[in-house]
Structure 1
Amino acid sequence: MTTLYMPLFRSCTNLRSLAQLHAYLLVSGLHHDPLPSTKLIESYAQMGSFQSSKLVFKTFPNPDSFMWGVLIKCSVWNSFFQEAIFLYHTMINNSQVQISNFIFPSVLRACSGSGHLGIGGTVHGTIIKNGFDDDSVIQTSLLCMYGELGCLSYAKKVFDEMPIRDLVSWSSIVMSYVENWKASEGLEMFRLMVLEGTRPDSVTMLSVAEACGELGFFKLARLVHGYIVRREIENDGSLTNSLVAMYSKCSDLRSAERIFLNVTNRSVALWTAMISSYNRSGRLADALKAFFDMLDSRVEPNSVTIMSVLGSYAGLGWLREGKSAHCYIIRKEMDPEYDVLGPFFIELYLKCGELNYAEKVLHMVGERNIVSWNMFISICTGKGLLIEALVCFVQMQTRGLMPDSYSLASSLSASADGGLLQIGDQIHGHIIKKGLSDEFVQNSLIDMYSKCGLTELAYMIFDKIKEKSVVTWNSMICGFSQNGNSVQAINLFNQMYLNALEMNDVTFLSVLQACSNLGYLEKGKWLHHKLLTYGIRRDLYIDTALTDMYAKCGDLLMAQRVFDIMSEKSVVSWSVMIAGYGAHGRVNAAISLFNRMVESGVKPNQITFMNILSACSHAGSIEDGKSFFNSMRDFGVEPNSEHYASMVDLLSRGGDLNEAYRIIKSMPFPADASIWSALLNGCRIHHRMDMIKTIEQDLLDINTDDTGYYTLLSNIYAEEGNWKEFGKLRSVMKSIGLRKVPGYSIIELDKRVYRFGVGDTSLLKTEETLSFLENFQILAQEQVRNLENNNSMIDAVIISKDVY
């Protein structure tokens, strides 16, 4: 009888007509019938009135498991995941309701939507207990839940235990891997799927295309596209969008454009995909042109489109046009509360230098959106506005927002860049107190302490991390390398290699820098070989690092080879090679390379001029050095203290001390200890004590903790026999706590590098080592005596020949 009223539900197009039908059912007494009541619950939820659905459910005397399942499903439809979990627990605690398999797909979706892995595991146990674990729909739901929560091992176990794997289950496992940044594993599952004979559909290929884009494999992307065309896989438009994004991520913008242009009726999603592709390739102006073409085609943009457009304006620094886009968004009422576009407005205004506008947007967002606060802190840190970033970090907490790992990492970065160790320590304490530490935060702590020179603390954090990612290893190796602990950096890399851990281009860049610092050529060559065998793509940074390593390690020929085969050369690449020629005394080659660089259209920077001036200084090419120094401003480069120091050093070594002194006096800023040291060294070389007397007052005015400066001046007094001044300087050094930095030596034994200084016996740990050194010393003394005896015999023979 009640089935006669089912067509009436289909005729209800709005809440008013549905309420009228509900009233009719109440009058007719049919509201106690499970079927129309269940349909009412479902219909109210579909029309957005979940409260009405709950009211119908509560007024029903004894809801069965099917009605419970419908209400739970309706909760999930409306994204009320916590409500769905609460209803599930209420239902299973009701002994009068028999549990059915119908409810579990919705409950599992609620667990993944709310991020409750523990509850999901408990539900999984209930499924097994009730014998529903062989249900294919439930198995697929379990697979999706574990995949969405990042538990790929559990997802794979569920998948492997499936007796029959259909298209949905295969697509789910592929998607799980891809969405959890395991693109290679996702593609491997796709390969096995095809081998098993399961034909993929457009949903599967969406994940496959995304995986190809993430990996950046151009050839594989072409194969996937060909497979889609050859198999005539049905495309509803979303697959076309994914192909456009895939090609742009593989740096093949031409293929992305070709797909885009072949579509006649372009959706807003396709326009957005093309705009994003232009942005990703750095063609920001083309992205904006595509946006205006989209408006001309009368296609209304959505919030995702506007995100890309605001990113284009921010990248170009077009403030006025960005404000126009802001007005357009306000006029269209696209995001009145700035909940979605707030972070992108903040990015636009900060990158255009409008801090006040960015702050206004931030305060309009208030405590509703932590992403906007994170964006503000991150961009301020990147632009060097460190105090503003840290103030924002404090303000967000006063507004009741709990910082997440992104906020903490950006604030730690601001502390590191500003050398604000005390603030960094306070943030570290906050992390420990609140228990907010994750891998992202731990890596930031390692970076912060390393940049503040506290590599011991950084290593303590590193050592306590049980599961270390490649980023964690890279952070510690880079920290050691940048603080002069190159031996430790190389030893840490050796641990990675011996344990067959994942390594990437950043790993090799950091350890190559360590080899450059040590002049460790053999290790550098080995690294070059491993770069090739590991299949890491050579790029501008890798090639530049290799050039620098070979040049600093003395193999200039190999440095030149690497430099010559570089497909593109940045100003850093040219500067590194110029420095290599200069360090080896090949000033003519350095000058020739500098001229080639300028002719190729690459503009020299401060480092380039520092390197060419240093080359001229080492070779004593005074006229060339003067010429380069005088031409700096022609390239828009203002000389800094290092350039002046190099110029003073060049003139001082060449004996033109008066000109060197004139340059010091003409500087736009006070000379520091390094500049006066260059002049002092020239006075020492050319025995110009009269010049030292002239500049004596200038020397007394210097306030520095540079031990090299005091040591040089005291040695000059000692060479001239002026022990009184020598003693004064040594007393000054002692009074301010300065001591000469001791030298050290490096030796390689059994593929490990050791560093030790004078009097350091830490490496001499065994009696055998000490005994060997004593025997070596005795043997050396015997060799010297034998050599002296031989020289005496030779002298006697020569004398006898002269006599005869």
Structure 2
Amino acid sequence: MTQYMPLFRSCTSLRTLSQLHAHLLVSGLHRHPQASTKLIESYSHLGSLHSSSLLFHSFPNPDPFMFGVLIKCSTWSRHYHRSISLYHHMIRHDIPTTRFIFPSVLRACSGCGEMRVGREVHGRVVKCGFDGDNVVETALVGLYGEMGWLDEAMRVFGEMSVRDTVSWSSVVLSCVENGEVSRGLGMFREMVMMGGVVPDSVTMLGVCEGCGKLGWWRGARAAHGFVVRREIRKDEGLDSSLITMYGKCGDLQSAERVFRSASCWHTASWTAMISGYNQGGCFVEARGVFVRMLECGVEPNSVTLMCVLMSCVGLGLIRDGKSVHGYVIRKAVDPELEFLGSALLELYAETGGVRYCQEILNTIGLRNVVPWNTVISVYCQKGLLKEALLVFVRMQSQGLMPDAFGMSSALAACGKMGSLELGHQIHGHVVKRGCLDEFVLNSLIDMYSKCGFVDSGYVIFDTMKTPGIITWNSMISGFSRCGNSVMAINLFDQIYMNRLEIDEVTILSVIQACSELGYLEKGKWVHHKLITYGIWKDLFVDTALTDMYAKCGDLQSAQGVFDMMIERSVVSWSVMIAAYGVHGKIHAAISLFSQMLEAGIEPNEVTFMNILSACSHAGAVEEGRIYFRSMKDFGIEPNAEHFACIVDLLSRAGDLKGAYDIIKSIQFSVDASIWGALLNGCRIHQRMDMIKSIQKDLLDIKTDDSGYYTLFSNIYAEGGNWEEFGNVRLMMKDIGLRKVPGYSAIEIDKRVYRFGAGDTPLPQMEEIYRFLENFQCLTHGLGVRSNFIC
């Protein structure tokens, strides 16, 4: 039998192996256990596990060694359940288990996630006395590490009497993959310090992955230097890991150098380079690497194509994405689109290919909810809100129940659309299914806030035992957005008093609340705290601070924050222009607008809105006309707000005819804000004749803005036309509108209280009324007229 062993090694195809098998049959050696075992192993190595199984089952009584070979071959071929089934067959029939069998069975358990079976195998390892075997113990470390039982993996590793390179590599990789990156790198340092065990390429795979996850550039350089100094043999896996590591650390030049110095460019190396460029936002370079890869004749795999599709999404190249899709179909890379389906859906959804999304969903959408979630999420991000909700409804009609991610995306779409009814239905679905994780609850709070029902969001918030910072931010932002800035600040105070985590979003929300209230002292305190927390020199925070100081009347501080900004966006410039405009400094606003243009920043719609508003406040008619006409030079079409602003400017200046001519030139439907600006100008200049001439236009307006009707009715009241006054108020009543009551806010002991007419929210209300009564009596005694009504 010995003379046939070299022949087995020379068999490089199933054909030659079949010829050898036939020769053994003729010679009668096929029944020899060693020959049969070798045939089983060879068939498996050449990709024919089925032939290996047939040969194995042709034996009436296979020995433990044959069982071990078939179990190992099944595990190599990723037929994990078959490996476990063979192992159970051995146990049931009392076939002796050798230490050779356990590593393959343990690997099969981790491969198919059978932790219960893995624990049973561990028990049998101990029972059979193999728990001192180095190879078996290393397999146990791998099992527990891959299944997320890191503490158990560390316990097994700590009890090992002999630790070789494989076991150290396994524990380093287990720590890194379970999120304990620093612990894993610490184990690597301990391995090196101990000496006697030489790290190999597998060890360095874990180290490179750890440095990449941390984005630790110095550690990445040290790891690469260690590979070079120790002359660790670089294979395909290590080359691609070094490239990936540098890509995650943002050092694309080093990644490119490693790529160019690779002894052989494999698919993994090309893929790592494409992925690195994608992570750095260099989508053009990533696409170029893929083109070079094809020119070199290297076949891409499904991971490569996934990265290329990401590049197409980043560049918005739907034609290139379609070419990749065609390649996938021609080469049958992923026939069922199990791996690439979500990437293709993201491509078509991002680039507006709604029809293609529907076709892919029809192909893969019946298996799981992931592709549906992808489409709903991308549609929501792209503003295709109606389409997102239609997909959400269609998914359920197909018999698929949405998960937390799908429901959160649908709730986000409801919030943006203001669709409270559908949001209520999804809320009911969430409660019914018990899907009450923090992610979904945050989406519910946000949805209710955006729909104007922030109190409903607060009810959800109040039921949460330990809300995270995202939940607090959602609630603070919701109150601030709905105008209840007092409650937003009170929630922020609770976060601070309870010493919870505070981030940039928290700061931005509370600064916005201070802006709405004009709460300067609190804004200054928040400014101080954000410096303490290290949230400093952030573009968004600095812009919000500039806006807050300006709205609170502290123009000097607003200017100081603006001047100290290292980077300025168009929003930053717009906010400062608005600040000058509100404070009546038209020349400073115009000068700043010119500086913005000189800095190469193009104005947007908001910038022009702010400069027109500044002109309106200052009565700078000619300047306002110039800026309004110049909007088209920057490719900006005036919207309703711009028209309302220029009409207001002309109306206040007395040019009512010019304002009316502009209204008549508007191509779209004129809303109440534009007519209201003209109406206010007529009131200021006592032009009742003009109001009568345009009365039909004014009464045809359909709006839910009570301010418009209030202004209209007040004009009739001032002119003594009580009949028309009553008609307008009756019209408001018929359409369900009422005048929005004003309110006042007062700060007492660093706390802001808000109250309106008829409210009795303050515990000091009786004392306030007594003071007003005494004050009124005092003014009467001094002969001073008082307007207080007690």
Residue pair 2:537, 2:566 contacting (<8 A) in 1 also:
no
Structure 2 residue identity aligned to 1:96: D
Distance in 2 between the 1:416 and 1:658 partners? Answer: 41
Residue pair 1:614, 1:646 contacting (<8 A) in 2 also:
yes
User: Is 2:631 the counterpart of 1:627?
Assistant: no
Residue pair 1:216, 1:250 contacting (<8 A) in 2 also:
yes
- The residue that corresponds to 1:701 in the other structure is 700
Structure 1 residue identity aligned to 2:276: S
Range moving further from structure 2, 180-189 or 708-717: 180-189
Structure 2 residue identity aligned to 1:678: A
Report the 3-state secondary structure (helix = DSSP H, G, I; strand = E; otherwise coil) of the residue aligned with 2:651: helix
User: Is 2:687 the counterpart of 1:688?
Assistant: yes
Where structure 1 has 5 or more consecutive residues not aligned to the other structure, the ranges are 765-769, 793-804
Report the 3-state secondary structure (helix = DSSP H, G, I; strand = E; otherwise coil) of the residue aligned with 2:661: helix
Distance in 2 between the 1:264 and 1:273 partners? Answer: 15
Q: Shift in Å at residue 482 of structure 1?
A: 3.3
Question: Could you say if the C-alpha distance between residues 263 and 18 of structure 1 is closer, same or farther in structure 2, counting changes exceeding 3 Å?
Answer: closer
Post-superposition CA distance 1:202-229 (Å, at most 9, x none): 4444444444444445555445545555
User: Is 2:302 the counterpart of 1:303?
Assistant: yes
Distance in 2 between the 1:10 and 1:211 partners? Answer: 39
Post-superposition CA distance 1:746-786 (Å, at most 9, x none): 4566776554444444563xxxxx4xx65566567768878
Q: Shift in Å at residue 638 of structure 1?
A: 0.9
Distance in 1 between the 2:724 and 2:171 partners? Answer: 79
User: Is 2:104 the counterpart of 1:113?
Assistant: no
- The residue that corresponds to 2:787 in the other structure is none
Q: Shift in Å at residue 642 of structure 1?
A: 1.0
Post-superposition CA distance 1:334-392 (Å, at most 9, x none): 44554444444444444443433444444455646765444433333333333433444
Q: CA RMSD in A?
A: 4.2
| Residues 306-317 of structure 1: pairs in structure 2 closer than 5 A | 306-317=305-316
Q: Shift in Å at residue 636 of structure 1?
A: 1.0
- The residue that corresponds to 1:77 in the other structure is 76
Question: Could you say if the C-alpha distance between residues 645 and 302 of structure 1 is closer, same or farther in structure 2, counting changes exceeding 3 Å?
Answer: same
- The residue that corresponds to 1:557 in the other structure is 556
| Residues 105-504 of structure 1: pairs in structure 2 closer than 5 A | 105-116=103-114, 137=135, 140-150=138-148, 168=166, 171-180=169-178, 183=181, 201-219=200-218, 221-226=220-225, 228-229=227-228, 233-263=232-262, 265-365=264-364, 367=366, 371-396=370-395, 403-430=402-429, 440-462=439-461, 470-504=469-503
Range moving further from structure 2, 280-289 or 55-64: 55-64
| Residues 636-715 of structure 1: pairs in structure 2 closer than 5 A | 636-715=635-714
Aligned length: 783
Q: Shift in Å at residue 640 of structure 1?
A: 1.0
Structure 2 residue identity aligned to 1:113: G
- The residue that corresponds to 1:613 in the other structure is 612
Distance in 1 between the 2:147 and 2:446 partners? Answer: 29
Distance in 2 between the 1:199 and 1:712 partners? Answer: 85
Question: Could you say if the C-alpha distance between residues 721 and 86 of structure 1 is closer, same or farther in structure 2, counting changes exceeding 3 Å?
Answer: farther
- The residue that corresponds to 1:795 in the other structure is none
Question: Could you say if the C-alpha distance between residues 107 and 239 of structure 1 is closer, same or farther in structure 2, counting changes exceeding 3 Å?
Answer: same
Q: Shift in Å at residue 474 of structure 1?
A: 4.1
Residue pair 1:32, 1:61 contacting (<8 A) in 2 also:
no
Question: Could you say if the C-alpha distance between residues 557 and 217 of structure 1 is closer, same or farther in structure 2, counting changes exceeding 3 Å?
Answer: farther
Residue pair 1:339, 1:369 contacting (<8 A) in 2 also:
no
Distance in 2 between the 1:131 and 1:500 partners? Answer: 53
Distance in 2 between the 1:637 and 1:542 partners? Answer: 27
Post-superposition CA distance 1:660-681 (Å, at most 9, x none): 2222222212322222222232
TM-score for the superposition, normalised by structure 1: 0.83
Structure 1 residue identity aligned to 2:739: K
Residue pair 1:339, 1:368 contacting (<8 A) in 2 also:
no
Distance in 2 between the 1:211 and 1:710 partners? Answer: 65
Report the 3-state secondary structure (helix = DSSP H, G, I; strand = E; otherwise coil) of the residue aligned with 1:245: helix
Distance in 2 between the 1:747 and 1:232 partners? Answer: 73
- The residue that corresponds to 2:540 in the other structure is 541
Residue pair 2:168, 2:191 contacting (<8 A) in 1 also:
yes
Structure 2 residue identity aligned to 1:622: V
Question: Could you say if the C-alpha distance between residues 61 and 742 of structure 1 is closer, same or farther in structure 2, counting changes exceeding 3 Å?
Answer: farther
Residue pair 1:349, 1:358 contacting (<8 A) in 2 also:
yes
- The residue that corresponds to 1:723 in the other structure is 722
Report the 3-state secondary structure (helix = DSSP H, G, I; strand = E; otherwise coil) of the residue aligned with 1:453: coil
- The residue that corresponds to 1:595 in the other structure is 594
Distance in 2 between the 1:33 and 1:493 partners? Answer: 80
Residue pair 1:389, 1:414 contacting (<8 A) in 2 also:
yes
Post-superposition CA distance 1:250-287 (Å, at most 9, x none): 44434433444444643333333333333333333233
Structure 2 residue identity aligned to 1:572: V
- The residue that corresponds to 2:579 in the other structure is 580
Residue pair 1:458, 1:476 contacting (<8 A) in 2 also:
yes
Report the 3-state secondary structure (helix = DSSP H, G, I; strand = E; otherwise coil) of the residue aligned with 2:78: coil
Q: Shift in Å at residue 592 of structure 1?
A: 1.7
Distance in 1 between the 2:498 and 2:171 partners? Answer: 29
Range moving further from structure 2, 687-696 or 434-443: 434-443
Structure 2 residue identity aligned to 1:715: N
Distance in 2 between the 1:640 and 1:514 partners? Answer: 28
Q: Shift in Å at residue 75 of structure 1?
A: 3.6
Residue pair 2:415, 2:447 contacting (<8 A) in 1 also:
yes
Residue pair 1:315, 1:351 contacting (<8 A) in 2 also:
no
Distance in 2 between the 1:131 and 1:372 partners? Answer: 48
Report the 3-state secondary structure (helix = DSSP H, G, I; strand = E; otherwise coil) of the residue aligned with 2:281: coil
Question: Could you say if the C-alpha distance between residues 572 and 164 of structure 1 is closer, same or farther in structure 2, counting changes exceeding 3 Å?
Answer: farther
Structure 1 residue identity aligned to 2:111: G
Q: Shift in Å at residue 715 of structure 1?
A: 2.8
Range moving further from structure 2, 729-738 or 189-198: 189-198
- The residue that corresponds to 1:798 in the other structure is none
Q: Shift in Å at residue 650 of structure 1?
A: 1.7
Question: Could you say if the C-alpha distance between residues 53 and 329 of structure 1 is closer, same or farther in structure 2, counting changes exceeding 3 Å?
Answer: closer
Residue pair 2:142, 2:174 contacting (<8 A) in 1 also:
yes
Question: Could you say if the C-alpha distance between residues 734 and 332 of structure 1 is closer, same or farther in structure 2, counting changes exceeding 3 Å?
Answer: closer
Structure 1 residue identity aligned to 2:638: P
Distance in 1 between the 2:464 and 2:56 partners? Answer: 50
| Residues 35-54 of structure 1: pairs in structure 2 closer than 5 A | 41-54=40-53
TM-score for the superposition, normalised by structure 2: 0.84
Question: Could you say if the C-alpha distance between residues 479 and 20 of structure 1 is closer, same or farther in structure 2, counting changes exceeding 3 Å?
Answer: farther
Residue pair 2:537, 2:565 contacting (<8 A) in 1 also:
no
Question: Could you say if the C-alpha distance between residues 227 and 23 of structure 1 is closer, same or farther in structure 2, counting changes exceeding 3 Å?
Answer: closer
Question: Could you say if the C-alpha distance between residues 263 and 98 of structure 1 is closer, same or farther in structure 2, counting changes exceeding 3 Å?
Answer: closer
User: Is 2:98 the counterpart of 1:96?
Assistant: no
Post-superposition CA distance 1:412-436 (Å, at most 9, x none): 4334433344444444555555566
Post-superposition CA distance 1:165-197 (Å, at most 9, x none): 665555445444544556566556656666666
Residue pair 1:76, 1:109 contacting (<8 A) in 2 also:
yes
Question: Could you say if the C-alpha distance between residues 330 and 670 of structure 1 is closer, same or farther in structure 2, counting changes exceeding 3 Å?
Answer: closer
Structure 2 residue identity aligned to 1:693: K
Question: Could you say if the C-alpha distance between residues 214 and 96 of structure 1 is closer, same or farther in structure 2, counting changes exceeding 3 Å?
Answer: closer
Distance in 1 between the 2:34 and 2:478 partners? Answer: 68
Structure 2 residue identity aligned to 1:602: I
Residue pair 2:99, 2:130 contacting (<8 A) in 1 also:
yes
Structure 2 residue identity aligned to 1:114: C
